[in-house]
Amino acid sequence: MARTAALGAPAERREGLEKVTGTARYAAEHPLPGRVHARAVPACVARGRITGMDTGPARAVPGVLTVLTHENAPRLAEPEDATLALLQDSEVPHRGWCVALVVAETPEAARAAAAAVRITYDTADHDVVLTPGHPSTHEPEEANGGQPTRCRRGDPESAFAAAPVRVDVTYRTPPLHNHPMEPHASTAHWDRGRLTVHTSSQGTGDVRRVLAGLFALPVDRITVRAEHVGGGFGSKGSPRPDVVLAAMAARYTGRPVTLAYPRRHLPTVVGHRAPTLSRLRLGATADGRLTALLHDVTTHTSPVRSFVEVAGTTSGVMYATPNLSFVHHVVPLDVPSPSWMRAPGEATGMYALESAMDELAGELGMDPVELRIRNEPDREPAGGLPFSSRHLVECLREGARRFGWPRGARRAEGPLLIGTGVAAATYPVMVSPCTATAEARPDGTYLIRVNASDIGTGARTVLAQIAADALGTPLDRVRTEIGDSDLPEAPVAGGSSGTASWGWAVHEACARLLDRLAGHTGPLPERGIGVRADTSGRADAGSTHARHAFGAHFAEVAVDTVTGEVRVRRLLGVYAAGHILNSRTARSQFVGGMTMGLGMALTEGSTVDAAFGDFAEADLASYHIPVHADVPDIEAHWIDEDDPYLNPMGSKGIGEIGVVGTPAAIGNAVHHATGARLRTLPLTPDRVLTALTER
């Protein structure tokens, strides 16, 4: 059949009407008969042990069914992820740890009763602040995702010491928090030994596997559904306490239970982006060629589960140098467990690297775009493999053309100082094994089934486009079923790998279906003809090439010298991410990532209170995320790449690269405007005013 125009077209989201009319059901919106509500009670000490629990006042609240504690809660098997060992003992590893669970007829009763639980503790000394040179600093054996903690090529220290031009600077990023529009929530129901869960998750298959282990059930006795998910940004990439607590309460009470976390609880229970200290040392020749690049990262982790933010790895991808080093160190503190947050590692690491490159350009008296182009590698510097495709130079040049670069001198408009900045971006191409089925129906339509998760990215729509293109059929003749653990197994929506992984299996299933149909004569049977595809052994096979997406960010800012406020007037991103499968949803992903990067640069930041061990900014009144008025002019464009080393669609992930270079581009623009270099995010008015005063 002839290929259709489905792939790449700006198809509208299939679930859009449901969402804007309010008929799309989320995890907490399943009013099963007899449903009740649960509310977690967080620990109010930073470290210690429970010595007394008075649940009488809570039980006296009308509508309360029970209060679960470590003394009466169902016993769980020991989990792989210790953050899910809930209500199993009296230990409190950090503030916000769940120490009790109230179950009541209404959310209001559960909330009132949770506030009435009285707990006494035997407290211990705690340490929650990441400081340079902390005595507990050490190099971990493994970093996030099994990535290496260090890389070394040549003799970087000696090369740096001998370099004619040197930059030696340290950058700091604070803890950051995932605040999806839909807070974490789950509805659980047991029926004759079978568990059904509706949960807000980026991967229902993983949730099912974890629940099976915790409750000692065969996986085929558990169904986990995530029909619609209101954002995740990594915080829903693995099971969180809400799903375990809901299942536990439902088993104990024998009734369906919904647990929806209030937003103020999220910072301590669903992970956060760990703070980082990044020291960058760049050595270069007088004409701007790097001779040494050293990136040393220190971050924190928790006593419950080790998670090491790999902020240095991108320094092994970006620029040619014969002498390279990155190394990670971690400090275990009495803090909640860090976890994934959109572009984990890349967002913080590239802020440091791209800011340092801007500083090097200043030392050299060179245009920062030209400096990056001059240090373009022909192979991946850390791994030595050839790139499957790399069009960073084209992104920089196209972005410069669209933005109006090279920039002129900074200028003033009354009390406003105007400046521009640039930064590069990269994100790895990842793909995981996946299964999918494709079925031809007697009515001329097709059904695609795969346990993908649509977390607001348009997965339903793009998978239908992939299928329509492979089948050579109009898009409206393809139906997709996703978000259910009973569907063919699929990996999580994370690491910008969802579409690449799911789409590969869908494409292959459709190709096999065409082969089956080619040999079929006569009408289709009533149940249709279906095939199954499994990409195991290929999607997870090693590659002979280094596979990455690249991009370039440009920003124009206005800095108010009276208030210290920074306003981003223009933000432009140009990306090289393989073939774009849906121009409408892709632009939305790029723009969303850039907006999140703007928040990281200017407004988002969290403080760990040293005395109380808590995150001071725990809601959207104090943790400031960008709104529409903060982004007056934002554009995303791309360069189409033909990369044969990816997947059948030739696509790369696009969900995270928009975040990666944006903070540095904005920070570099602030420096251009003011002449002051701020090396700690976010660039809040107080920091800007202090820098202006010192300047």
d(C-alpha 133, C-alpha 426), whole Å: 30
Decide if 660 contacts 425 (C-beta within 8 A).
yes
For residue range 233-289, what is the model confidence (pLDDT) as tens digits? 999 999 999 999 999 999 999 999 999 999 999 999 999 999 999 999 999 999 999
Decide if 687 contacts 463 (C-beta within 8 A).
no
For residue range 273-284, what is the model confidence (pLDDT) as tens digits? 999 999 999 999
User: Which of 3.20.80.10, 3.30.365.10, 3.30.1330.200, 3.40.1210.10 is the CATH number of 36-125+178-269?
Assistant: 3.30.365.10
Q: Domain 16-24+432-534: which CATH class?
A: alpha beta
**98-102, 540-544, 680-684: least confidently modelled range:** 540-544
Decide if 90 contacts 21 (C-beta within 8 A).
no
Mean pLDDT of 52-69: 98
Decide if 176 contacts 351 (C-beta within 8 A).
no
* Beta-strand relationship, 194-199 and 222-225: parallel
Closest CA to 97 of 346, 442, 336, 282: 336
Decide if 186 contacts 246 (C-beta within 8 A).
yes
For residue range 494-518, what is the model confidence (pLDDT) as tens digits? 999 999 999 999 999 999 999 999 9
Identity of the residue numbered 574 = V
Residue reference for tokens 């022909």: 378
Closest CA to 273 of 140, 176, 403, 166: 176
* Count of other CB atoms within 10 angstroms of residue 139: 13
Decide if 7 contacts 456 (C-beta within 8 A).
no
Q: What is the DSSP letter of 506?
A: H
pLDDT of residue 3: 46
Decide if 235 contacts 184 (C-beta within 8 A).
yes
Closest CA to 402 of 565, 254, 573, 557: 573
Decide if 349 contacts 315 (C-beta within 8 A).
yes
What is the fold, at CATH topology level, of the domain defined by 144-176+272-429+544-694? Aldehyde Oxidoreductase; domain 4 (3.30.365)
d(C-alpha 610, C-alpha 613), whole Å: 5
Please give the mean pLDDT across all residues of the chain. Answer: 96
Confidence of residue 608 (pLDDT cuts 50, 70, 90): very high
pLDDT of residue 146: 84
Q: Does 117 have pLDDT greater than 90?
A: yes
Confidence of residue 4 (pLDDT cuts 50, 70, 90): low
d(C-alpha 71, C-alpha 314), whole Å: 47
The verdict on whether omega for the bond into residue 406 sits within 30 degrees of 0, i.e. cis, is yes
pLDDT of residue 277: 98
Closest CA to 303 of 120, 47, 79: 47
3 vs 626, residue with greater confidence? 626
Q: In what order do the strands lie in the sheet with 435-440?
A: 478-481, 446-449, 435-440, 529-534
Active-site annotation holds for 656: yes
Q: To 5 degrees, how large is the angle CA 310–CA 314–CA 318?
A: 170
Return the bridge partners of 295, or none. 280, 326
Confidence of residue 521 (pLDDT cuts 50, 70, 90): confident
Q: To 5 degrees, how large is the angle CA 50–CA 51–CA 54?
A: 90
- CA torsion angle 540 545 546 548 (round to 10): -80
3-state secondary structure 160-222: HHHCCEEEEEEEEECCECCCCCCCCEEEEEEECCEEEEEECCCCHHHHHHHHHHHHCCCHHHE
d(C-alpha 412, C-alpha 435), whole Å: 58
Return the bridge partners of 118, or none. 54
Mean pLDDT of 598-621: 96
Tokens of residue 454, six digits: 């649509």
Decide if 553 contacts 656 (C-beta within 8 A).
no
Decide if 615 contacts 267 (C-beta within 8 A).
yes
Residue 81 has φ and ψ, to the nearest 5°, of -100, 110
Helix (H) or strand (E) holding 468, with range, is: helix 459-471
- The domain locations on the chain are 16-24+432-534, 36-125+178-269, 144-176+272-429+544-694
d(C-alpha 490, C-alpha 508), whole Å: 14
Write b or e for each residue in 631-659: b if 16 or more Cβ atoms lie within 10 A of its Cβ, otherwise e: beebbbbbbebebebbbbbbbbbbbbbbb
> Which one from 227, 641, 656, 694 is the annotated catalytic residue?
656
Mean pLDDT of 16-41: 97
Tokens of residue 546, six digits: 């280094």
Closest CA to 298 of 327, 272, 320: 327
Tokens of residue 294, six digits: 């050293």
